[in-house]
Amino acid sequence: MKIRQLKILLAALALCGAFAARGGAAEPGGGTATAIFAGGCFWSMQKLFDHVAGVVSTTVGYTGGRKKNPTYEEVSYTDTGHLEAVRVVYDPGQTSYEKLLDAYWHDIDPTTKDQAFCDSGPEYNSAIFYTTEQQKQLAEASKAQLEKTRPFREPIVTAIRPAAEFYAAEDYHQEFYKKNPLRYQMYKVGCRRDERLQELWGDRRD
């Protein structure tokens, strides 16, 4: 069974017959900032940022494409132009955008196009979606620095793009790794995610 089909099956099992409403999610009030990252499967991206100190909330969803209010199946099987992504709301008094960038780079494979680990398709491309000019400058600087110091030979293909409308994914995708830990672990092991990250970055800081 293809990985994409397996993911849909795992998600369907987790859904248990309940379908979630789609659309934007409300964010906390003042004192926070927003960052948006795409780095392959959004289940794993959410798990990463949920464990970064200073992050207030995370939401997985779709962004960067043309289709309004897309579904998971549409993003997976039709040409919507969207990427799987995570929206991160964080407290700048507790963490910085630079720290989020550092966590992001070290948890993705920035060398592959139309693929992330075992997931294939343009929706799994990696991209940093900046929401301010300062974020753009910091993202570009971090990418340039990584180009100089990267421990791997392949070129970095991660894009840096202006933020577009973000559509929250269906409820059964939100915090999938928490709601379905065994199913998420089965997916992660099957994708050899940790092994590939070790190959790319060496000793990790989990």
Other C-beta atoms within 10 Å of 66: how many? Answer: 10
Q: What is the β-pairing status of strands 159-162 and 33-39? A: unpaired
Q: Could you tell me if residue 114 is left (phi over 0), alpha (psi between -120 and 50 degrees) or otherwise beta?
A: left
Residues in the chain, total: 206
Residue 41 is among the residues annotated as catalytic for this protein: yes
The tokens for 137 are 């400058």
Provide the H-helix boundaries in 30-175: 42-50, 72-77, 97-105, 133-149
Distance (Å, whole) CA 150 – CA 201: 8
Distance (Å, whole) CA 152 – CA 172: 35
Tell me the chain's radius of gyration from C-alpha atoms: 16
From 16, 41, 118, 191, the catalytic residue: 41
Contact criterion met (CB below 8 Å) for 81 and 98: no
Give the 3-state secondary structure of residue 59. Answer: strand
Q: So which residues are the catalytic ones?
A: 41
